[in-house]
Amino acid sequence: MKKNKMIRTILIEALLIFVTIIILLPLFLAVTMSLKKPSEVFVYPPTIFPNSFYIQNYINAFNSINLGRLMLNSLIMSVVIMIGKTIFGILSGYAFSNFRFKGSSLLFALLFVTLFMPAELIMIVPLFQIMQSLHWVNTYWALTVPFLASATTTFLMRQHFMTIPKELEDAAKIDGAGPMRFLLEILIPLSKSTIGGVAVINFVYAWNLYLWPLVVTNSNEMATAQIGLKMLTNVESTSNWGVIMAGTLMVLAPTLILFFAVQKLFVRGIVTTGLKE
Amino acid sequence: MAKKIFPYLLLVPTFIIIAIFIYYPAFQTFKLSFYRMSPFGNRLFFVGFQNFWSLFTSGQYIQSALTTLIFVTVTVIGGLIISLLLALLLNERVPGIGIFRTLIFAPYAISPAVAGTLWAFLLSPVAGYVSYLFLILFKAQPQWLTTYPLALIAIMIATIWKNLGFNVIFFLAGLQSIPQSYYEAATIDGANSVHRLLRITIPLLSPITFYLIVMNVTFTAFSAFATIDVMTQGGPANTTSTLIYKLYQDGFVNFNTGFASAESVVLILIMAIFTYLYFKFGQKAVFYQ
């Protein structure tokens, strides 16, 4: 019996190693390709390990499409969206979780219906026209402002605040703390990890946006890193995969590093986005 | 008095953003779908339902609707089956499981555009390792990104791969919420592992599965835009042009605003039905399982 269990464990370990390798293989092959000299890229049959350690591909990716600027734009966009969505989500979530007011269920329903209405995708034509009339095309305003609030973050924060005992609020009232002080000094400190999880997820969401930045920016100065990938594929017309993979890995790096650095927050955030704790 | 308006003040920022950037464009979409714009974009002509008529009689539009249907169905079902199997494996208590979980969750951080360039590389004719593998295994070297239906399959692969992290995280959370005692009781009653999977695990995962289906359909239908744009740009011969890709082309390449708005209206209505079904059947099950 004990021996059977050990065999089972070994088989499972072997299977786990196998599937992990398969799933991460595209990333691994991208790394090795990104270190190949142009002369090695099209060697046939393809070799896995590069003969060289050709860092120049990364420099070329930066130079050929102004990638540094594009990554800076993505960073600005993602940080602003992350902060806006999280703060506005906390405020509106708090309104729905801790207050009874006239019209609250109507307002809640009005917010609900936007949950599956990604305007930047399915209403992109009129949304673009709004940007034109505001003279926001090709600016940071267009990249950030439409995304500053969302139903998802509001619901998540509401859902979370509802799990915090009512007694705390009553106690704060007795101590003479107003509702804003209660939010800032009690509710938010008690919700740090949920807020952290939501913030990281909103950052990744913004960093990975594609269609909207593609439509609303029209210069190498204002485009974002994701759009850079398309530019890179077009510029490298001979398909120098070494340079393209170097660029791809740099565009991926911020979110991947963030993912590994705060994985616990991440998973918590992802799961609580849809599930009651 | 100040106390009474306080909750409304909390809602002001969110509702300003939503009113200007969701409600107003939604209203405009419906309005524009009944108009045609003059060639210089300075005048609107009311044309009734003509945009919708040309939409539903357009062969290209019907084709892109079918492409979307096939693409979404295969990607979501295939992706969820693979993810469930992975989650079952990651639910085993063996040494080092934490590391395997972290590594397999990682594709969550990958964007649809990054997934696109990675798979475009792997499937490319000379430098691509997948193409080479095909040559060794099947003595064939298909042109993945430029032939039908391989281009669509390529985009399905990239999308399934990109969605794995998200799906596995949810399935694993679901598996871990199933009490161990259910399995113990079933084992005492003589149920084997297949029985346990079919009679306990899968039924108890159905709320999460429902949630994942809804999320995956939306991701796949819309976010795959980036993957398509990087890998095939809708080609060959529009066979990878999904509804959202076609909307982009009609709105921003062909500048056919009225037609594009009619396409938007159809998407809004589909999403409205979707939202209704989600809250009617799914929300309770998912949030209060």
B50-93: per-residue pLDDT in tens? 999 999 999 999 999 999 999 999 999 999 999 999 999 999 98
Q: Is residue A1 part of a domain?
A: no
Q: What's the confidence (pLDDT) of residue A238? A: 66
Pick from B13, B89, B173: CB nearest A19: B89
List the domain range (segments joined by +) for residue B189. 58-287
State how far residue B286 is from chain A, nearest Cα, in angstroms: 6
Interface contact flag, A122 B268, Cβ < 8 Å: yes
Please indicate whether, in this complex, the C-beta atoms of A42 and B251 are within 8 angstroms of each other.
no
**Residue B266's CATH number:** 1.10.3720.10
In a 3-state reduction of DSSP, which class is residue A137?
coil
Indicate which of B3, B9, B14 best probes the interface with A, i.e. most A CBs within 10 Å of its own CB.
B14
Question: Is the model's pLDDT at A276 over the cut of 70?
Answer: no
B124-133: per-residue pLDDT in tens?
988 889 989 9
Q: At what angle do helices A225-235 and A241-261 cross, to 10 degrees?
A: 160
Q: Which residues contact B287 (CB under 8 A, 6 or more apart)?
A: A159, A275, A276
CB contact under 8 A, B229 and A214: yes
Examine residue B50 and state whether it is found in any structural domain, yes or no: no
pLDDT, one tens digit per residue, over A96-106 is 999 999 999 99
Tokens of A126: 């009129």
Q: Does the pLDDT of residue A277 top 80, yes or no?
A: no
Structure tokens at A43: 């060697």
Quote the mean pLDDT of chain B: 90
Would the CB atoms of B105 and A114 count as touching at under 8 Å?
A: no
Phi and psi angles of residue B232, each rounded to the nearest 5 degrees, phi first: -130, -15
Q: Where are the alpha helices (DSSP H) in chain A?
A: 2-34, 38-41, 56-65, 67-98, 104-112, 119-122, 124-133, 140-144, 151-161, 166-174, 179-182, 188-190, 192-207, 211-216, 225-235, 241-261, 263-274
C-alpha closest to that of B118 among B247, A118, B127, A78: B127
Contact B278 A116 (CB under 8 A): yes
pLDDT confidence of B41, banded at 50, 70, 90? low
Please report which confidence band the pLDDT of residue B283 belongs to, taking 50, 70 and 90 as the band edges.
Answer: low
In a domain, A17, yes or no: no
Distance from CA of A222 to the nearest CA of B (A): 18
Q: How many domains does chain A have?
A: 1
With a cut of 70, say whether residue B100 has pLDDT above it.
yes
Task: Return the pLDDT at A267.
Answer: 75
Band (B15; pLDDT cuts 50, 70, 90) = very high
B18 domain-assigned: no
Partners of residue A9 in chain B, C-beta under 8 Å: 94-95
Mind listing the pLDDT tens digit for each residue in B129-186? 998 999 999 988 889 999 999 999 999 999 999 999 999 998 998 898 888 888 888 8
A137-141, A250-254, B187-191 — which is least confidently predicted? B187-191
Share of chain A above pLDDT 90, in %: 66
Among B30-39, B267-276, B277-286, the least confident range? B277-286
Average pLDDT on A202-217 reads: 96
CATH of the domain at A98: 1.10.3720.10
pLDDT score recorded for residue A274? 47
Facing residue for B222 by CB, picked from A118, A207, A255: A118
Question: How many separate domains does chain B show?
Answer: 1
Residue B285 — very low, low, confident or very high, per pLDDT cuts 50/70/90?
very low
With CB atoms and an 8 Å threshold, state whether B104 touches A210.
no
| Residue A202, domain extent | 60-274
Residue in A210, A256, A259 closest to B225 by CB = A210
pLDDT at A263 over 90: no
Q: Cβ B109–A92 below 8 Å, yes or no?
A: no
Does the distance separating the beta carbons of B225 and A208 come in below 8 Å? no
Contacts A179 to B, Cβ<8 Å: 3, 6
* B173:A271 CB<8 A: yes
- Residue A244 has its nearest CB partner, among B121, B169, B264, at B121
- pLDDT mean across residues, chain A: 90
User: Which residues on chain B are in Cβ contact (under 8 Å) with A70?
Assistant: none
Report residue A275's pLDDT band, with 50, 70 and 90 as the boundaries: very low
